Chain A
């Protein structure tokens, strides 16, 4: 089954290797792994999705904790979470077939982010199933998919914070440090941030 972990780790060279190496040692395949900065300086946040036997979650979590570079781990597989993935899809499109892709993107709430004489690029954000749905429809249509780039899943628990341990061990900044508020899943400006707006680094 798929296990999903959120790990808060030191933002230092080699940490990704340590985490990845742990999964390698346990002979567990990583389905996706996204890393980026968190709300705290010096702390990166990883969302890790891995295929492992149902009972393996405890041991993976406990082993991740054992890495000195890991501050906190949350096994969020069974919890209430918002899960999002971003995909860029480049589709072959002629001026005649563009309209159909515009329609599809409307239905899937994807956005057209690039238009070239012979292709279009779609940006879609959502649960993995939604992205796979769009890919399937595109595959079934006349428009050949030229390229797909997917970020892998990013996960955040609803309500409760994952990063409580950071506070407990005073690894965080002083309390008056502004913390980026948890935002709801709506809002296109969030998507802009994820799309890599240089003024809003992730």
Chain B
């Protein structure tokens, strides 16, 4: 090594420990916040942290660290970073990594590993985390040499954020953390990103797509998470407005175009509104933009949009014709492809299709429920609607998974991209609170609301303590119905109301918050909602509201699993329907 004149050739080269290289590389990549939990095999890295301008958020469970990094990434569009020790620290990350994988979230997880000489010996806290996470990461690495840490971490960031984003795990042995190596951030730059060789938006396909769009009588744009990742909001709005194309969204696509836009139809699929799904079934052209035709979106594939041609614009070629056969596939970045197409699309005058879709709305639409009379029941729909009003739709809402998540998607109108953060693909209960902490770290000036059910909130409620330790202002709305609500709903619809193990006892959430020094309020009636929300928003620190809502309400409409998209279960007219309890015209 001394004979190699490395340092004279590269003036920025310094000799650092592997642990220092980790932080130096993260600093170089622009990381300012990481979420983690120390332990034996990662102590050298923690020891070196004090020398670098990076804030570490100490979590209460590593799953929280992964969700926080995920929330940070979704809120900011940057790579989130989670750190954990070997063994149980690493395995606790797994659910969070899978959540990020299913929703294509850019994330880098750094785990400590026992010394390289002990690998494979079942040493204390050894686990094969690269083996475990192989199918739930975009890629993973094990690093056993100090000099490899810089290049591998930089490649990990490149992989996480390019193409279809995803989580990358880097497992670093303790001896690699402790050893010395020359480090030069620039010299560690990865080879230029290898674009997927099947990316193609060739002239022929573009022309075909343009022909289909211009000749369609009943087109619909379907937007998904890819629209947010690509930043294609402006192009989508231009396309929709120029040709009068209604826009339906997946759960993760909400906010890609403003919900208040005339052409926005809101969410499609299992809990989309009936008329949105009917419009899709009647359309003659679906333009799918950065979405993957998930089963929750399509219903039965055999009867999905039977008369529609499909144009699939998608960055991941393996999604093409996976579930729904694409007539034309444009593979690449959505924004770039739309920019190629737009100049060749002349405006259309005919608005009859938009009018027809609006006519479908009829009484089926979820109506403005501002003036619902107080029937003595508190409904989640009320709560979320009032929350939307109170925050003027401008808050970042982080949801958990279940009924409240679907009500949120129906009643909270998101006008801005990255203002709804939710676990879609994996459907991870316990996601909301830690993800909200991550989102708040990324966007400290934004108002953040957690909406969680009583079941999911208890899965990661320990992160309340993290929230307090970090002095973060986050408001928490627990939609408490005493059940694992979505499970109960499925049991009601499909298992003859046999509520096996779905009733759940919860602690008094307000007292739980109080034990953390967090103020709170319990709300039982509609009349109390506004005051409680106001109190939460005005509180200096975090605030928790325990909304005791109707126990056996269900999310309507619903496409049963395996049913056709327009065969929806509708709210029974004689039931406790908060929407019908209004004299408002539709």
Contacts and interface: CB of A to CB of B under 8 A. Distances in A.
Contacts of B191: 169, 171
Nearest to B139: A68
A14 B320 CA distance: 28
Nearest to A73: B197
A154 B255 CA distance: 50
B231 to A, nearest CB: 22
B197 A21 contact: no
A59 B321 CA distance: 8
B138 A58 contact: no
Nearest to A18: B134
Interface in B178-225: 191-192, 194, 196-198
B196 A66 contact: yes
B194 A21 contact: no
Contact of A65 (B139, B192, B317): B317
Interface string B317-332: 1101110000000000
A174 to B, nearest CB: 16
A65 B196 contact: yes
Contact of A59 (B131, B134, B139, B318): B318
B316 A72 contact: no
B135 A21 contact: yes
Contacts of A61: 198
Contacts of A67: 139
Contacts of B139: 67-69
A62 interface: yes
A186 interface: no
Nearest to B195: A169
Given A68-B139, A72-B197, A62 B134 contact: no
Contacts of A18: 134
B130 interface: yes
B267 interface: no
Q: Which one of B192, B196, B198 has the greatest number of beta carbons of chain A within 10 Å?
A: B198
A73 to B, nearest CB: 8
A25 B159 contact: no
A68 B135 contact: no
Q: Which one of A18, A55, A62, A65 has the greatest number of beta carbons of chain B within 10 Å?
A: A62
B194 A62 contact: no
Interface in A26-85: 55, 58-59, 61-63, 65-69, 71-73
A148 interface: no
B134 A17 contact: yes
B194 A169 contact: yes
Nearest to A168: B197
Given A17-B134, A21-B134, A58 B321 contact: yes
Contacts of B135: 21, 25
Contact of B318 (A14, A66, A169, A171): A66
Contacts of A63: 318
A2 interface: no
A65 B159 contact: no
Contacts of B192: 169
Nearest to A170: B191
Contacts of B322: 59
Given A72-B197, A165-B197, A66 B316 contact: yes
B198 A68 contact: no
Nearest to A66: B318
Contacts of B159: 68
A14 B130 contact: yes
B320 A62 contact: yes
A65 B197 contact: yes
Contacts of B198: 61-62, 65
Contacts of A66: 196, 316, 318
A55 B321 CA distance: 9
B161 to A, nearest CB: 13
Interface in B129-174: 130-131, 134-135, 138-139, 159
B144 to A, nearest CB: 11
A188 B317 CA distance: 42
A76 B191 CA distance: 28
A63 B194 CA distance: 15
Nearest to B329: A58
Given A17-B134, A21-B135, A58 B194 contact: no
Contacts of A169: 191-192, 194
A63 B317 CA distance: 8
Contact of A62 (B130, B138, B317): B317
Contacts of A55: 321
Contact of A58 (B130, B196, B320): B320
14 contacts: A18-B134, A55-B321, A58-B317, A58-B320, A59-B321, A59-B322, A62-B316, A63-B318, A66-B316, A66-B318, A68-B138, A68-B139, A68-B159, A72-B197
Interface of A: 14, 17-18, 21, 25, 55, 58-59, 61-63, 65-69, 71-73, 165, 169, 171
Interface of B: 130-131, 134-135, 138-139, 159, 191-192, 194, 196-198, 316-318, 320-322
3 interchain residue pairs of minimum CB distance: A62-B318, A62-B317, A68-B139
Given A17-B131, A62-B198, 8 more contacts: A21-B134, A21-B135, A62-B316, A62-B317, A65-B196, A67-B139, A72-B197, A169-B192
